[in-house]
Amino acid sequence: MSDIVVLFSLLFIFIIIGMEVPIALGAAMLGSLLVSPLPLDPIILAQKTVGTMARAWPLLTIPMFVMLGEVFNAGGISRRLVDVANILVGRLPGGLAMVNIVASFFFGGISGSASADTAAIGSIMIPTMKKQGYPSTFSTVVTITSSTLGPIVPPSILVILIAWVTDLSVGTLFLAGYLPALCSMLGMMAISYVIAKRRGYPRRDPLPFKESVRVLVEALPALITPFIIVFSIVSGLVTVVESSAVALIYALLIAGFLYRELTWRSFLTVLRNTVRTTAFVGLLLAFAAAFAWMVTFSGLPKSVADALVTAGMGPVPFLLLTLIVFLLLGTFLNAGEIVLMAMPVLFPAALALGIDPIHFCMIAALSMVIGNVTPPVGLCLFIGCSISGDRIEDLIAPLIPYVATMVSVIIVLIFVPEIILWLPEVFGYVPK
């Protein structure tokens, strides 16, 4: 067990001193192998890194879903989704806050990324809300917290990573994400409603009926994209990889020929952003594959599971503990990094305690994404501040009710797993 202590100690030291996480993973594993009392050749690091990635064909979906979000952002889709959200909820108290949250839910079904959601929706909604008299800090907080819906609403890059690490069906986890994301969205809308009523924030005037119909018809091709992806998978028509390719071709057609806002110049930007993101994620996944093997080889997951079973910890206390662990890890790691480092340890323990794997994975995903908005390294926090010009310290107090709401929703889902499992049960992925 001493080698695993060395592994985690080196990893956290390298992260604390500012080393990029993929490089920190590789350096920590190499250092651990060199001092390990076990007869392990360091060449195993290269074998596990390259070999695992060569067989991980579902990860081919990641660059295509990343590019899908970039295409829709460059093609003017985010503006149209905001217009649709305005029709649905703009007339409620604090109308623009409601529009912001619903638009993030819609855009999350396209991008699958919290940071992309913050950049796309925030660049539209934060300036608009400020012009309408909303405080800058409130506008920013609503934007960044609602962007956490992106990694939960299918198709989700985070969920694909979780499915790969846990060897679960991507289609099943996609289906399981809809109702938790909807619960989170409604919770954020509820707290926004209370704050808006108390502070007297304005409503949006409803659009004329003909204008509303025009906006809905224009946005319909974009709105149905996530349903095309998910239901083509669960119906068995295509594989996960094929669905991402079909969705990308569909996005290029509607952004380039229907909406005619995707130019050759913007397409080059899309390619550049996709390559940059994919390169980082690919390197992270490659080293994380070897990291997960080393953790499993050490026997740590089995030791943790046996200790929990021996201690008599039940499913609910374990899930609450998982929530706390992921909240803490989220203060200095992003969700993808947490999946690759923590899930190989916690997932076997959850199975040993009799927790449904789909239930555990969705609780884990919901817990991880909160780290996008918590200091000191919340990515969405920094993106939102760069758009609004706010200081991070000014957002702490406005963030508290929203983070508390997100945590409360997770606790409800821990006690009521049927909310998560209902759609997978309907489609036959989980026995009733």
> What one-character-per-residue DSSP string does 63-120 give?
HHHHHHHHHHHHTTHHHHHHHHHHHHHTTSTTHHHHHHHHHHHHHHHHH--HHHHHHH
The two structure tokens encoding residue 362: 């969705």
pLDDT for 190 equals 93
**Block mean pLDDT (10 aa), the chain, length 432:** 74 80 80 69 70 65 78 76 81 84 81 75 83 88 90 84 87 90 93 90 76 85 79 75 83 85 86 82 75 72 69 86 87 77 86 92 93 78 84 88 95 95 83 56
pLDDT for 208 equals 81
Query: First vs last Cα of the chain: how many Å apart?
Result: 41
Q: In sequence order, what are the residues at sequence separation of 6 or more whose Cβ sits closer than 8 angstroms to the Cβ of residue 378? A: 144, 330, 331, 371, 372
pLDDT for 363 equals 95
The two structure tokens encoding residue 330: 């989220």
pLDDT for 31 equals 82
pLDDT for 319 equals 93
Cα separation, 344 vs 309, whole angstroms: 17
**φ, ψ at 391 (rounded to 5°):** -90, 145
Q: What is the CA radius of gyration of the chain?
A: 22
Question: How many C-beta atoms lie closer than 10 Å to residue 136's C-beta?
Answer: 19
Which residue type does 374 have? T
CA distances from 414 to 35, 147, 158, 166 (A): 41, 22, 20, 19
The model's pTM is 0.81
